[in-house]
Amino acid sequence: MLAAALLAAPAAFAQEEDADSIISAATDAYTSMTLADQARDNEDWAGAISGYRDALGLYRQLAATQPDWEPDTVRFRIAYCAGQIEMIGRETGQNADELVTNSTPVLSADEASPELEASPEVQPQAPEGAPAEGADSQAAQPEQDRAALVAEVEALKQQLEKAVTEGPAVFAMAVPANADDVLPKMHDGLARERSGDYAGARGIYEKILVARPAYAEARKALGRCLVRLGQLDEAIAVFSAVAFADRDDAQARVLLGTAYCMAGKYNSAVEVLTPLVVNDPSNARAQNALGAAWMGLGDTRSARIALEKAVALDSQLGDAHFNLAQVLLVAEPADREKARQHYLNAMALGAEADEELAKALGSP
């Protein structure tokens, strides 16, 4: 796991306009996607399709209404949801047309989904009382809807494939000799990582991943090195791949949330970490990372709640004490004495000293 300095958010907090509404929408979308993943894993194909389509609509709406909010993440998740629908089609032996048709509810004009509303091929229904355009036109409407959705799914599938192929370049390396010697290589990489040789450790992990591209522990280790080397966008891509491949890998999601925090993408961090602490409120590291994300958004109340849970769950988590000290110092009202004690706890647990924070707290 990353050291205290990597999880601590900056002391200067920035409040983003309409952050709560954006986070709420993004969290709803992420929750729908997570539930769809669970339904898929349980082979509940109808539930999975419904969840992915809900998430797809929510992410498309977010992209349309908040185009500047994490556009790369939103585009990737739009493509991911579409790709999962395609995957379920292959798993169940249905083609794209059958799958979309069977998963498309009959909606009124007021209930039309964002997918249908955004599609130029779909004509709006005539308002109540308006003259009908003929039986042929009405009969053609469902077919137009299906064709538009099929075309959209295919386009999003292509986006997903592009996102995957444009990932980190570690897969382009030649397969090394003695590829079966993975565990000794991992031990070597971890030793280098602990000694601070992050570039050397990165090279070892990359070679392991060429031989074992699905080895999640090596991938997470590579991501940690990328964070230490300041290559945050690459680290986010690595952690995202692990988190998407295994929704039960809580560590990968904590690391992803942490990397988002360090990159200043606090909204994305909250989106990733909130479902994790909802499903597992006893995860101290997730609570700590979520607290750091709320700190970055300037929400000291939410940050304090999460960080106090973190230290209550794991009193040995030095970075949580460090973060809580920062929050208590700037909270309304401030609690300087508690902040000082948490800072001293963090130092005793090996956290890196912060001269400015220590001075503000009157600590040695």
Task: Check whether 2 has a pLDDT greater than 50.
Answer: no
Please give the pLDDT value at position 98: 56
Distance CA 302, CA 312 (A): 16
Indicate the average pLDDT of the chain: 75
Mean pLDDT of all residues in 349-360: 89
| Long-range contacts, 139-146 (Cβ 8 Å, 24+) | 145/104, 145/116, 146/97, 146/100, 146/101, 146/104
Cα distance between residue 193 and residue 200, in whole Å: 8
Tokens of 259: 């990397």
Query: Lowest-confidence range among 73-87, 134-148, 166-180, 238-252?
Result: 166-180
> Which burial class, exposed, middle or buried, applies to 196 when counting CB atoms under 10 A from its CB (0-12, 13-18, 19+)?
exposed
pLDDT of residue 148: 57
* CB-CB neighbours of 95 under 10 Å: 12
Lowest mean pLDDT among 34-48, 99-113, 176-190, 341-355: 99-113
Residue 339 has pLDDT above 60, yes or no: yes
pLDDT > 50? residue 16: no
- Give per-residue pLDDT as tens, 32-54: 887 888 888 788 888 888 888 88
| C-alpha R_g of the chain | 24
**Range of lowest pLDDT (40-54, 197-211, 295-309):** 40-54
191 vs 238: CA distance, rounded Å: 21
316 or 4, greater pLDDT: 316
Q: Note the pLDDT tens digit of each residue in 221-234.
A: 999 999 999 999 99
128-142, 167-181, 213-227, 282-296: lowest mean pLDDT where? Answer: 167-181
Neighbouring residues of 217: CB distance < 8 A, sequence distance ≥ 6: 186
Q: What confidence tens digit (pLDDT) does each residue in 150-163 have?
A: 555 555 545 544 44
pLDDT of residue 224: 95
| Max intra-chain CA distance, the chain | 83
First to last CA, the chain: 28
- When pLDDT is cut at 50, 70 and 90, the band that residue 303 belongs to is very high
Q: Which residue has the higher pLDDT, 139 or 302?
A: 302
